[in-house]
Structure 1
Amino acid sequence: MGDVFSADVSRIRQWQKLMGEITEITDNVVRDFEAEVRACLDWVGQDDSMAEELRPRDIKEREGASNTGRSLTEAVAGISRALNVNGNVIQDAQNNTFDAINNESNKSGRH
């Protein structure tokens, strides 16, 4: 007897929902971070030598943090989309199999 393939679409949907929730949380965190960053842009100074020295690094670090957060959001959203596609493919395969079994049993009168 060969290996048995089994898939629980409801569990895939649960993980998809969880990944969607994590995507939303991550997106909100990035937006909140960016809003808070805008409120403190002049903390490194405005027009003195210290500001001139620190501002480029400060901008680079803030942009890096935002880009990392957006990349994380996109990655988790991609997992959610992949789970959705995977769940649909498995559900379709299961539905087609059940339909084929029912069609054959209706023809022969046996299961």
Structure 2
Amino acid sequence: MIKNIAIVSLSRGVAGEAFAQHEVEIGLKRLAGYGVNVQFMPNALRGIDYLTTHPEARAADLLQAFRDPGIDMILCAIGGDDTYRLLPYLFDHDKLRRAVTDKIFLGFSDTTVNHMMLHKVGLP
């Protein structure tokens, strides 16, 4: 059963922008309706400028979410076109393979790249 969801922004930082706050609130209300706890990872709401400049922060959020045994599911806040820039921060020193645990990972659009990364390290 899914009780705790971590939200990451792996492609874009739109969720951290003021113009998108109404959408974030709607999403949080809908998730609350399912009775789940939602946790934004440390950089998920840092905004477009910060997350564009810091792919290592986006990668760190994903690794932290996988390592946290209290998180049941990882949900990507938005798609985009920038996830490929996380590759060195996830694959250097086999970081992603060592962090991945059996969790649900869900997203759309650019998140397909993340699904391919996770498949490469053995997550079905």
TM (norm. structure 2) is 0.22
Rg (Cα) greater in structure: 1
Flag the structure with more relative contact order, 1 or 2, with Cα contacts below 8 A and sequence separation at least 6.
1
The structure richer in strand per residue is 2
**TM-score normalised by L of structure 1:** 0.24
